[in-house]
Amino acid sequence: MATQVAKASTRASSLVTRTLLLVWQDPDNRRFLPVAELHHLADGRFSFAYLEAARTHGSFFALDEYSDLDKVYVSDSLPVFFANRVMSPDRPDYGQYLEWLGLRGADPGDVPVEVLARTGGGRATDTFHVVDRPLRGEDHFESRFFVSGLRHVPGAATLLADVQPGDRLELRPEPDNVSNSKAVIIDVESRQQLGWVPDWLCGEVTEMIDQGWEIALVAERVNPDAPSHTRVLCRLNATSRHIIQS
């Protein structure tokens, strides 16, 4: 893998087609913090750069593969740090895995990035997650994610049997959650819990709820037989109230 290094202020010559966020969990307070961006460029290359939070947070240390917090790294292929978080195509269950993720028939060149975006690329040995950067404007917000914590909710599997693609889901703040005061519950219908919004997204969702945004959450894909963390793929769309009222 050829890697080039440039100053952080240098803009990659290729257009960006997709951006993933590298989210780090602070081991001291368990909060999730976006620390870097991985851009998939139109020419097939990738660029990696740290965000300001990585440079200012006292407990964060640069990755071995990207040791300089002030540089932009450009590579010809998906960097090893990220490639190691994608299931190998040689696995016998790889085809079923793509089916669960809704990626059957997708362009092979796009699959690794899509897998990272939809699964989070988490590993038991570290505190990083890879997520699709939400599309956010001043008045609109869009994100896609899998329902989190489904296996920890009694009766969730029974509720899941009745969830169909396209069904509306409901959001319910959980301020008394001891792990995260900004936790947001996902309900199938009134107070029938299915799981939670992923921790990395809770802060933004809570903020939009508090500000009265119109939020629609839809089950985009349902995989009853998949591992619990890939059973319900959701799509969230939110619009500021002042746009709706204008």
Strands 46-50, 32-41: pairing kind: antiparallel
Tell me the three-class secondary structure of 126-161, residue by residue: CCEEEEECCEECCCEEEEEEECECHHHCCCHHHHHC
- Report residues of the chain scoring pLDDT below 70: 1-14, 108, 120-126, 242-246
Region of 125 (left: φ > 0; alpha: ψ -120 to 50; beta: rest) is: alpha
**Which of 5, 142, 127 is closest to 68 using CA atoms?**
5
What domains appear along the chain, each with residue ranges and CATH number? 3-132 (no CATH), 135-245 (3.30.70.2330)
Give yes or no for a contact between 208 and 242, defined as CB atoms under 8 angstroms apart.
Answer: no
Helices and strands, counts by H and E, the chain: 7, 13
How confident is the model at residue 170, as a pLDDT?
A: 96
Entry pTM: 0.71
- Among 244, 239, 245, 191, smallest CA distance to 217 is for 239
Distances (CA, A) of 143 to 54, 81, 117, 161: 23, 24, 10, 24
Question: Residue 52: its pLDDT value, please?
Answer: 94
User: Which two tokens mark 32?
Assistant: 């999730």
Q: What is the pLDDT of residue 51?
A: 95
- Which residue, 48, 51, 49, 19, is CA-closest to 33? 51
